[in-house]
């Protein structure tokens, strides 16, 4: 029988107005990969923040027993000294520092105030090799993609001599190829080094693939721990534990929606990189979307999908933008975000925490941010109206929060996403560009967002959905564009679109890397 490396007993954590964890128990054996699953707001990240010392001892009730010892972690450094290292969903790397500098930030190599750079980069290269990253540690972080940045975070954790690695949504920003490579790396470290991992993920196919055991948390309480060592646990079985019911159809049916005339059309659209003006990131793209239609845009990471969307939305990305944009048949020049909103265009960013929401502000102010004119008179905001609008969207989107006065930063990822959707729905757009609208969101919340998308197109609105999850693109789209290396390389009807045809378009169009 394997040794129990970690036991969390009767953990209870309360925030103002809400009990985030209610007597939670978790047991992790040495050398296993243990998955934590549950709906957004279930308490998964909170539990790991307790374990890692982000929520200090004394701010919660219960015990952490690690390696047979009762631990009291007052800060993150305390848990790291024991070999417990957490990698958060939002990567904590500084773009304009080198990989090596990032890896040893706060853990510098050298003596007193003098950093030994030869040792720093030598050590960094050693750990990068362990995770299969060929880049030099002297390269700036901004020069590498998200998938490689995730590997840097793992190399950084290994450099801290991690014995228990906690990964919070490690594949949420990765495409399927990079995701599998990362999971295979965890399996390799488990087999060769005996590394123990706790992984939080909403991608249930990945959980079933990689995890030895799966603990389900619902509404701040432990529901069950499922043994998956035979590899026979189905996604439906996990979902039932998460949401307390079976979900028979992941994608709600859309019936009686009439697809109408073209609402927006882009012709010969070209965009150059804002920092490297010689680099073309969108190359002569043409596409359109009709009223009542969901158009998916699929492609590998770095294909140029987000760059395309942001450049259309008031030229909020890129330089040297050329091409023609028509809305409702009329040629328009949208030079600013304000002009885009005025023309009933909305862009729901993939980066909800960085660009989409003001985390230090309440739900009510975030909800009305894109349409302040509707709740103002003579440049003065009507606070009662603001509250009323936010409350209306809270009920409509079933956002879990004690009050709309709560700061958005205190919400779970899925509920933050609902506030971001509410913000743009209140702006009453005719065309919505949704960039990774369900990233880092549980299966129940995904279903609710899919229902919202269906409702929007049933009202005659147009939705363009960018997603790295092929089942989502296939399940929700009436028509699919495939992008690769900045170009549109395929257009598929719902009937002819499959995972194979999409990947075929990518691979036939270029390197597919």
Which three-class secondary structure string do you get for 146-178?
HHHHHHHHHHHHHHCCCCEEEEECCCCCCCHHH
Question: Does residue 283 or residue 41 have the better pLDDT?
Answer: 283
- Per-residue pLDDT tens over the stretch 337-346: 999 999 999 9
Round to whole Å and give the CA distance between 5 and 399: 37
Round to whole Å and give the CA distance between 369 and 379: 14
Each domain of the chain, given as residue ranges in start order, spans 4-243, 249-344+429-513, 355-427
Decide if pLDDT at 513 tops 50.
no
pLDDT band at 512 (very low <50, low <70, confident <90, very high): very low
State how far Cα 448 lies from the chain centre. Answer: 17
Mean pLDDT to the nearest integer, 385-410: 91
Highest-scoring range by mean pLDDT, 127-131, 172-176, 476-480: 476-480
Round to whole Å and give the CA distance between 370 and 340: 11
Domains 4-243 and 249-344+429-513 share a fold: yes
Q: What percent of the chain has pLDDT over 70?
A: 97
- Per-residue pLDDT tens over the stretch 399-409: 888 899 999 98
The whole-number pLDDT of residue 134 equals: 86
Q: What is the CATH number of domain 249-344+429-513?
A: 3.40.50.300
Decide if pLDDT at 242 tops 90.
no
Q: Measured between alpha carbons, how far is residue 292 from residues 231, 254, 327, 447, 513 in Å?
A: 41, 11, 15, 19, 33
Long-range contacts of 437-440 (CB under 8 A, 24+ apart): 437/348, 437/465, 437/467, 438/467, 438/469, 438/472, 439/172, 439/173, 439/350, 439/468, 440/89, 440/169, 440/172, 440/202, 440/413, 440/414
Phi, psi of 84, deg, nearest 5: -100, 115
- 268 burial via Cβ count (<10 Å: 0-12, 13-18, 19+): exposed
The whole-number pLDDT of residue 443 equals: 75
Decide if pLDDT at 511 tops 50.
no
- Per-residue pLDDT tens over the stretch 426-455: 999 999 999 999 877 777 778 888 999 999
The whole-number pLDDT of residue 1 equals: 52
Pairing of β 380-381 and β 376-377: antiparallel
The whole-number pLDDT of residue 43 equals: 87
Residue with tokens 């969903």: 89
Phi, psi of 364, deg, nearest 5: -65, -40
Round to whole Å and give the CA distance between 367 and 268: 35
- Per-residue pLDDT tens over the stretch 4-26: 999 999 999 998 767 889 999 99
- Per-residue pLDDT tens over the stretch 100-138: 999 998 888 887 678 889 999 999 999 999 888 888 999
- Where b means 16+ CB within 10 Å and e means fewer, 44-62 reads bbbbbbbbbbbbeeeebee
Q: What is the CATH number of domain 4-243?
A: 3.40.50.300
Instruction: Quote the tokens at residue 101.
Output: 């500098």
Round to whole Å and give the CA distance between 451 and 309: 23
């Amino acid at each position: 029988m394997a040794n129990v490396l970690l036991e969390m007993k009767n953990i209870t954590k309360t925030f103002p107005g809400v009990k985030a964890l209610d007597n939670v128990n978790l047991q992790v054996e040495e050398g296993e990969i243990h998955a934590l699953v549950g709906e957004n707001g279930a308490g998964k990240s909170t539990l790991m923040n307790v374990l890692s010392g982000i929520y200090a001892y004394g701010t919660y009730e219960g015990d952490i027993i690690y390696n047979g010892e009762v631990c009291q972690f007052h800060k993150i450094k305390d848990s790291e000294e024991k070999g417990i290292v957490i990698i958060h969903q939002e990567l904590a790397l500084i773009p304009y520092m080198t990989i090596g500098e990032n890896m040893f930030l706060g853990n510098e190599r050298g003596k007193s105030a003098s950093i030994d750079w030869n040792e720093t980069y030598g050590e960094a290269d050693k750990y990068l090799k362990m995770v299969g990253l060929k880049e030099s540690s002297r390269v700036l972080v901004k020069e590498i993609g998200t998938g490689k940045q995730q590997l840097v975070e793992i190399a950084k954790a290994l450099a801290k001599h991690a014995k228990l690695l906690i990964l919070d949504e490690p594949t949420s920003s990765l495409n399927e190829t990079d995701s599998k490579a990362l999971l295979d790396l965890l399996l390799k470290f488990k087999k060769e080094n005996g590394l123990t991992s706790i992984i939080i993920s909403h991608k249930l196919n990945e959980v079933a693939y990689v995890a030895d055991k799966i603990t389900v948390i619902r509404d701040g309480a432990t529901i069950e721990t499922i043994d998956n060592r035979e590899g026979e646990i189905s996604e439906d079985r996990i979902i039932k534990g998460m949401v307390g019911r079976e979900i028979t159809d992941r994608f709600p049916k859309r019936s009686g929606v009439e697809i109408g005339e073209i609402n927006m059309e882009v012709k010969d659209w070209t965009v150059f990189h804002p920092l490297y003006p010689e680099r073309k990131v969108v190359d002569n793209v043409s596409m359109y979307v009709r009223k009542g239609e969901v158009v998916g845009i699929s492609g590998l990471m770095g294909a140029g999908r987000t760059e395309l969307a942001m450049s259309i939305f008031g030229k909020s990305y890129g330089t040297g933008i050329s091409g023609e944009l028509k809305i409702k048949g009329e040629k328009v020049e949208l030079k600013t975000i304000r002009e885009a909103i005025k023309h009933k265009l909305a862009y729901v960013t993939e980066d909800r925490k960085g660009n989409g929401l003001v985390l230090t502000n309440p739900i009510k102010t975030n909800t009305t941010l894109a349409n302040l004119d509707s709740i103002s008179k003579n440049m003065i905001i009507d606070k009662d109206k603001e509250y009323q609008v936010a409350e209306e969207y809270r009920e409509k989107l079933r956002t879990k929060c004690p009050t709309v006065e709560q700061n958005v930063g205190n919400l779970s990822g899925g509920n933050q996403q609902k506030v971001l959707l509410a913000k743009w729905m209140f702006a009453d757009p005719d065309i919505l560009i949704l960039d990774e609208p369900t990233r880092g969101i549980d299966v129940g919340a995904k279903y609710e967002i899919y229902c919202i998308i269906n409702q929007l197109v049933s009202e005659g609105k147009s939705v363009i959905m960018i997603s790295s999850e092929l089942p989502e693109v296939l399940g929700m789209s009436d028509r699919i564009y495939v992008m690769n290396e900045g170009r549109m390389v395929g257009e598929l009807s719902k009937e002819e679109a499959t995972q194979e045809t999409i990947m075929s378009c990518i691979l036939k169009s270029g390197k597919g890397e």
